[in-house]
Amino acid sequence: MNRVLITGITGFVGKHLAEHLLSQKEYEIVGTYRSESGLKSAEGIKDQLTLKHLDLQNAEAVESLILDVKPDYIFHLAAQASPSKSFSTPVETLTNNIISEFSVLDVLKKHTLADIRVIVISTGEIYGIVTPSDIPVDEQTPLRPATPYAVSKIAQDYLSLQYHLAYKLDVIRLRPFNHIGPGQKEGFVVADFAKQIAEIEAGKREPVLSVGNLDAKRDFTDVTDMVKAYELAMLKAESGEVYNIGSGKSQKIADILDKLLSLSMKKIEVKVDQSKFRPVDVPEIICDYQKFHKLTGWKPEIPFEKTLENILDYWRKIV
């Protein structure tokens, strides 16, 4: 049975990835978490895996963990993952995201562990300000980062490439575009909408929904489809390569809001909040995932409307 180490396992994607891998009955899962509060998200699966409380910026602790666990695969998910938050915490975002990955890669370099495959999760955000001629965005599209978060992920992306080229580490770089689903925290647009609607339905806030830029168009994939792609990358991707993963379609934020509102019986007023706008935003982005599709056959399967229903039902249960 292959052993898989997932950094940031109690995060939104980490939990979904762990659940998916556990369902395959082929993997022994070890996961790191940074905050005790994050353990709540591991309810239901924590008895099926091993959890390690760890600050990934502590190089010695990371070294001890990897040498003890002896994983066959490492999914490096742990990061400050909010583009919006990165504007107010740029230093923390850069420091956390870069040093945490360095800690992992340097252990493999130091101990010549080139047989451990590392799947580094970059992001479609690194393409930043794309032009109409760039769409759909493939792996050769120029990088024009528009957020401190995107800068930190470029550093992670290229740091792992450098370790592959210089030290022959078995590294795969994935650039997932927006992914959504139950369990995603507020601070992300669809989760924000759904949480507010659920609170209004529960009588916990006035029937006014606060929104930011509704004109932007984004490429959204259900997180369940996304983690299936992660496993396929682990099994089939070519060492050192980079792959975009997304739906290949754009969804206008205003249309997403309308679809969520249509799922509620409440009459809700929509109010634009300028504080929710980013200093710079991209009008539209669409992922070209053909490179990954040709290699693995992967494509999204869950209907977008079903994803929205699942997200709203999730918030209805917890508000």
pLDDT tens digit sequence for 105-156: 999 999 999 999 999 999 999 999 999 999 999 999 999 999 999 999 999 9
Rounded to the nearest 10°, the torsion over CA 95, 174, 66, 46 is 100
Q: For residue 38, is pLDDT > 80?
A: no
| 58-67, 87-96, 279-288: least confident range | 279-288
Which of 108-122, 268-282, 284-298 comes out lowest in average pLDDT?
A: 268-282
As annotated, the residues of the chain forming the CATH 3.90.25.10 domain(s) are 189-217+250-282+303-318
State both tokens at 152.
């930190």
Per-residue model confidence (pLDDT) at position 40 = 76
- Please name which of 298, 309, 154, 177 lies closest in space to residue 233, comparing C-alpha atoms: 298
pLDDT in tens, 213-252: 999 999 999 999 999 999 999 999 999 999 999 999 999 9
What phi and psi, each to the nearest 5 degrees, are found at residue 196? -65, -40
What is the distance between the alpha carbons of residues 34 and 311, in angstroms, rounded to a whole number?
A: 25
User: Given the DSSP bridges, would you call strands 269-272 and 170-176 parallel, antiparallel or unpaired?
Assistant: unpaired
Give tens-digit pLDDT for 242-258: 999 999 999 999 999 99
Q: Work out the angle between the directed axes of helices 253-262 and 304-318 (0-180°, nearest 10).
A: 60
Q: Is residue 281 pLDDT above 90, yes or no?
A: no
Answer yes or no: CATH 1.25.40.10 is held by domain 189-217+250-282+303-318: no
Q: Provide the pLDDT confidence category of residue 259 given band limits of 50, 70 and 90.
A: very high
The pLDDT score that the predictor gives to residue 154 is: 98
Burial letters 267-280, b for 16+ CB under 10 A, else e: ebeeeeeeeeeeee
Confidence of residue 314 (pLDDT cuts 50, 70, 90): very high
pLDDT over 80 at 280, yes or no? no
The predicted pLDDT at position 96 comes to 97
**pLDDT, mean over the chain:** 96
d(CA 271, CA 318): 24
Q: May I ask the CATH architecture of the domain 2-180+221-249+290-296?
A: 3-Layer(aba) Sandwich (3.40)
Pairing of strands 217-218, 251-252: antiparallel
What pLDDT was estimated at residue 169?
98
Confidence (pLDDT) at 207: 97
Confidence of residue 275 (pLDDT cuts 50, 70, 90): confident
pTM (2 decimals)?
Answer: 0.96
Give the per-residue pLDDT at 277.
82
Higher model confidence: residue 30 or residue 45? Answer: 30
Rg (CA), the chain: 19
Is the separation of the CB atoms in 114 and 220 below 8 Å?
A: no
Q: Of the candidates 316, 300, 5, 56, which has an alpha carbon nearest to the alpha carbon of residue 178?
A: 300
Q: What is the pLDDT of residue 39?
A: 77
CA separation for the pair 81, 311 (Å, rounded): 19
Cα separation, 76 vs 236, in Å, equals 17
- Return the higher-pLDDT residue of 44 and 297: 297
User: Residue 69: which residues within 8 A CB-CB, separation 6 or more?
Assistant: 3, 5, 30
Where in the sequence of the chain do the CATH 3.40.50.720 domains occur?
Answer: 2-180+221-249+290-296
